[in-house]
């Protein structure tokens, strides 16, 4: 199997089964076998023993060849007693003490199983509102977020991963200013990503420089007004300061809600790519685009046949996961089996572009992004329709927009672009649809180890072209870009662009290109240089809004003290 050293390290540390003394009970091959067997077993009743073996082999090959990987909880837990296979959950928070603490308990159960949780705090009454039963006053959403944060801190998920949370507050909630500034100090509320839930009405008011209403959720009363532009600028200022909050466009999430009769979407999962209904979960998986290429007469091209084949198998795999999954709560079981959402996405996009000799920041790459994602979307729907013919439509089909369209699908959604934070390490490729972070860089890995990493595609080309040296890689790591290195041919300098060579608008345009053909949302960080201005942040937000993105997260280099990836820090 073609796993690099980092991949093996990560798998051994967190993914492979161990006994109570920490001794490994399986190797990576064994892990993929365990996962393939468990996921294929969903077909046990409907196919012959021989066909079941073939399905298992297909699933195994797809993972072992690193063509497709399911999200981490599936790799960790499939075929093991815990059996919780989804990365993404959204829980409701009711405006009662019982409701709030019930959700904290449920979130703890989900974190224990390796899942991440998103919540909207928008239903909670604002700070200072009265509490009838006690005659006291309410503490407000931000104060309760701190309780959720502390609970998450305490449940360290023995050996797998720390719980991640998304906290969302609507921009018209009276406590919105407290929320926008709640992570100003980096040390606070560290187990949450936060996003402001933006409405169309608000964006219109910003454009016209008008006031907008603040509404008390528990009464529906308008309790104040605020200038929309000032509020927008406060979000920009905080995001410039340390990357938080992000923004999500709530009305767009609901415009694309395929089961509006069942409920409104008020939150996403922790990294923002998966909008879900309250109590809904979703399992994700990513196709490694870097492997979807072929050589024709010395020319590298996208292998659409292989891609089609991989999409078909991946949809089958992810749909099976829904059946073998052990959900942490009965409400989640019911909802998730009801909509049967899956989220197929991609990783290794930047590596694919490098192999094709296409710069990330170019119109050709935007066009190719649309072509590839259109293809994946289309094939995933065909696969879901085929599954529906064999196994039936999703149970809430009659409450979905698909019944009006007359299209019989097995899954309410099929596509999502995840960050692939760990999956991309396992596959040894660039993460999600992000550009290369650097050509060579220092990675702070677990236990504070530091490693110099060289992008494998670059390393290969540098070797073939004869300009590779360790000394050069260290110099590149210090600089964070290969622009201006005389020993590197110019066309290679143009193709191997890093996050920091790319202007923010290309980041946003790439996100928009993938979003165009993605059911759910796209995880993307718009990386800005340290010198970026407030206007740069504001421009990125506007471009994302105008190009139909579902949200934006920006990050200005060096604006948080502790970064996972560092450039220019070689000792």
Catalytic positions, please?
A: 269, 271, 273
Q: Could you tell me if 234 and 539 are in contact, meaning their C-beta atoms sit under 8 angstroms apart? A: no
DSSP of 499-557, one letter per residue?
A: TTTS-HHHHHHHHHHHHTT-SS-B--EEEE-TT--HHHHHHHHHHHHHTT-SEEEEEET
For ligand CDP, the closer of residues 422 and 455 by Cβ is 422
Residues within window 68-97 making contact with ligand CDP, judged by CB under 6 A:
71-72, 87-88
Residue 473 sits in the site that holds ligand CDP (CB under 6 A): no
| Contacts of residue 337, Cβ cutoff 8 Å, sequence gap at least 6 | 322, 323, 395
For ligand CDP, the closer of residues 237 and 256 by Cβ is 256
Residue 462 sits in the site that holds ligand CDP (CB under 6 A): no
Least Å from the CB of residue 514 to ligand CDP = 14
For ligand CDP, the closer of residues 66 and 87 by Cβ is 87
Residues within window 204-243 making contact with ligand CDP, judged by CB under 6 A:
none
Q: Which residue is nearest to ligand CDP (CB)?
A: 116
For ligand CDP, the closer of residues 59 and 496 by Cβ is 59
For ligand CDP, the closer of residues 273 and 536 by Cβ is 273
Task: List the end-to-end C-alpha distance of the chain, in Å, as a whole number.
Answer: 33
- Between the alpha carbon of residue 443 and those of residues 475, 541, 569, the distances in Å are 15, 29, 10
DSSP of 203-253, one letter per residue?
A: HHHHHTT-EEEEE-TTT--EEEEEEHHHHHHHHHHHHHHHS--EEEEHHHH
Burial class (CB in 10 A: 0-12, 13-18, 19+), 273: buried
Tell me the per-residue interface mask from 137 to 176 with ligand CDP, x by CB under 6 A, - otherwise.
Answer: ------------------------xx-x------------
Burial class (CB in 10 A: 0-12, 13-18, 19+), 121: buried
For ligand CDP, the closer of residues 115 and 428 by Cβ is 115
Q: Could you tell me if 292 and 306 are in contact, meaning their C-beta atoms sit under 8 angstroms apart? A: yes
Query: Which residue in the set 418, 472, 526, 552 belongs to the binding site for ligand CDP (CB under 6 A)?
Result: 418
Q: Could you tell me if 474 and 570 are in contact, meaning their C-beta atoms sit under 8 angstroms apart? A: yes
Place of tokens 């999502």: 416
Query: Which residue in the set 270, 328, 428, 504 belongs to the binding site for ligand CDP (CB under 6 A)?
Result: 270
Residue 348 sits in the site that holds ligand CDP (CB under 6 A): no
Least Å from the CB of residue 420 to ligand CDP = 4
Stretch that binds ligand CDP, among 125-133, 266-274, 309-317, 532-540 (CB under 6 A): 266-274
SS3 state at 458:
helix
Stretch that binds ligand CDP, among 312-320, 331-339, 415-423, 505-513 (CB under 6 A): 415-423
Least Å from the CB of residue 542 to ligand CDP = 25
Least Å from the CB of residue 125 to ligand CDP = 28
Least Å from the CB of residue 13 to ligand CDP = 13
Least Å from the CB of residue 151 to ligand CDP = 15
Stretch that binds ligand CDP, among 21-29, 231-239, 412-420, 508-516 (CB under 6 A): 412-420
CA distance 130 to 490: 66
CA-CA-CA-CA torsion for 7, 12, 15, 19, nearest 10 degrees? 170
Which stretches of 49-198 are assigned E, i.e. beta strand? Answer: 68-70, 88-91, 116-120, 165-170, 192-198
Residue 343 sits in the site that holds ligand CDP (CB under 6 A): no
For ligand CDP, the closer of residues 193 and 566 by Cβ is 193
Least Å from the CB of residue 147 to ligand CDP = 19
Residue 419 sits in the site that holds ligand CDP (CB under 6 A): yes
CA distance 488 to 48: 57
SS3 state at 448:
helix
Residue 448 tokens read as: 């504070």
Stretch that binds ligand CDP, among 222-230, 416-424, 471-479, 558-566 (CB under 6 A): 416-424
For ligand CDP, the closer of residues 196 and 271 by Cβ is 271
Query: Which residue in the set 28, 79, 92, 116 belongs to the binding site for ligand CDP (CB under 6 A)?
Result: 116
Q: Which helix (H) or strand (E) holds 404?
A: helix 401-405
Residue 269 sits in the site that holds ligand CDP (CB under 6 A): yes
Least Å from the CB of residue 423 to ligand CDP = 4
**Which of 460-491 are b and which e, b meaning 16 or more Cβ less than 10 Å from the residue's Cβ?**
ebbeeeeeeeeebbeebbebbbbeebeebeee
| Contacts of residue 190, Cβ cutoff 8 Å, sequence gap at least 6 | 149, 153
Least Å from the CB of residue 193 to ligand CDP = 9
Please choose, from the candidates 440, 552, 453, 543, the residue with its C-alpha nearest in 3D space to the C-alpha of residue 198: 552
CA distance 61 to 148: 40
Which stretches of 27-115 are assigned E, i.e. beta strand? Answer: 68-70, 88-91
Residue 271 sits in the site that holds ligand CDP (CB under 6 A): yes
Query: Which residue in the set 283, 420, 499, 518 belongs to the binding site for ligand CDP (CB under 6 A)?
Result: 420
For ligand CDP, the closer of residues 152 and 481 by Cβ is 152
Q: Could you tell me if 553 and 524 are in contact, meaning their C-beta atoms sit under 8 angstroms apart? A: yes
The residue count for binding ligand CDP (CB under 6 A) is 20
Least Å from the CB of residue 72 to ligand CDP = 3
Residues binding ligand CDP (CB under 6 A): 71-72, 87-88, 115-116, 161-162, 164, 269-271, 273, 284, 418-423
């Amino acid at each position: 199997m073609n796993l690099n050293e980092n991949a093996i390290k990560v798998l051994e540390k967190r993914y492979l089964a161990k006994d109570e003394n920490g001794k490994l009970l399986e190797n990576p091959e064994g892990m993929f076998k365990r996962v393939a067997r468990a996921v294929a077993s969903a077909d046990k009743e409907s196919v012959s023993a021989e066909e079941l073996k073939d399905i298992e082999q297909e699933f195994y090959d797809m993972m072992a060849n690193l063509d497709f990987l399911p999200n981490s909880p599936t790799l960790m837990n499939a075929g093991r007693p815990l059996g919780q296979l989804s990365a993404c959950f959204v829980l409701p928070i009711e405006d009662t003490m019982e409701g709030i603490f019930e959700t904290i308990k449920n979130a703890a159960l989900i974190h224990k199983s390796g899942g991440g949780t998103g919540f909207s705090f928008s239903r909670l009454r604002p700070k200072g509102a009265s509490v009838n039963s006690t005659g006291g006053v309410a503490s407000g959403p931000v104060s309760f977020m701190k309780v959720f944060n502390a609970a998450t801190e305490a449940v360290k998920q023995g050996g797998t991963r720390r719980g991640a949370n998304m906290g969302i507050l609507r921009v018209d909630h009276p406590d919105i200013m407290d929320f926008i500034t709640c992570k100003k100090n980096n040390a606070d509320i560290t187990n949450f990503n936060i996003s402001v839930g933006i409405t169309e009405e608000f964006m219109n008011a910003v454009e016209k420089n008008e006031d907008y209403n603040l509404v008390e959720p528990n009464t529906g009363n308008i309790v104040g007004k605020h200038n929309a532009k000032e509020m927008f600028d406060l979000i920009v200022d905080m995001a410039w300061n340390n990357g938080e909050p992000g923004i999500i466009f709530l009305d767009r999430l609901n415009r694309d809600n395929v089961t509006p009769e069942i409920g409104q979407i008020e939150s996403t999962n922790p990294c923002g790519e998966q909008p879900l209904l309250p109590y809904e979960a979703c399992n994700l998986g990513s196709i490694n685009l870097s492997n979807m290429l072929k050589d024709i007469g010395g020319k590298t091209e996208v292998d659409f046949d292989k891609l089609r084949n991989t999409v078909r198998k991946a949809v089958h795999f992810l749909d099976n996961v829904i059946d073998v999954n052990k959900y942490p709560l009965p409400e989640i079981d019911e909802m998730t089996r009801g909509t049967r959402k899956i989220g197929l996405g991609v990783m290794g996009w930047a590596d694919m572009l490098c192999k094709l000799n296409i710069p990330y920041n170019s119109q050709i790459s935007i066009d190719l992004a649309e072509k590839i994602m259109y293809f994946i979307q289309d094939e995933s729907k065909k696969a879901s329709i085929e599954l529906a013919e064999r196994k039936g439509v999703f149970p809430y089909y009659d409450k979905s927009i698909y019944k009006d369209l007359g299209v019989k699908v097995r899954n309410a959604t099929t596509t999502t672009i995840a960050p692939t934070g760990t999956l991309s390490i396992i596959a040894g490729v660039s993460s999600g649809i992000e550009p290369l972070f650097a050509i060579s860089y220092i990675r702070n890995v677990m236990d504070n180890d530091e490693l110099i990493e060289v992008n494998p595609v670059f390393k290969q080309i540098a070797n073939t072209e004869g300009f590779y040296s360790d000394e050069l890689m260290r110099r590149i790591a210090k600089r964070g870009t290969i622009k201006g290195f005389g020993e590197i041919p110019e066309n290679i300098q143009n193709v191997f662009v890093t996050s920091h060579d790319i202007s923010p608008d290309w980041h946003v345009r790439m996100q928009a290109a993938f979003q165009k053909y993605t059911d759910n949302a796209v995880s993307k960080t718009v990386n800005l240089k340290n010198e970026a201005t407030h206007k740069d942040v504001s421009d990125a937000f506007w471009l994302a809004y105008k190009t139909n993105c579902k949200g934006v997260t920006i990050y200005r280099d060096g604006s948080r003290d502790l970064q996972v990836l560092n450039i220019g820090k070689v000792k």
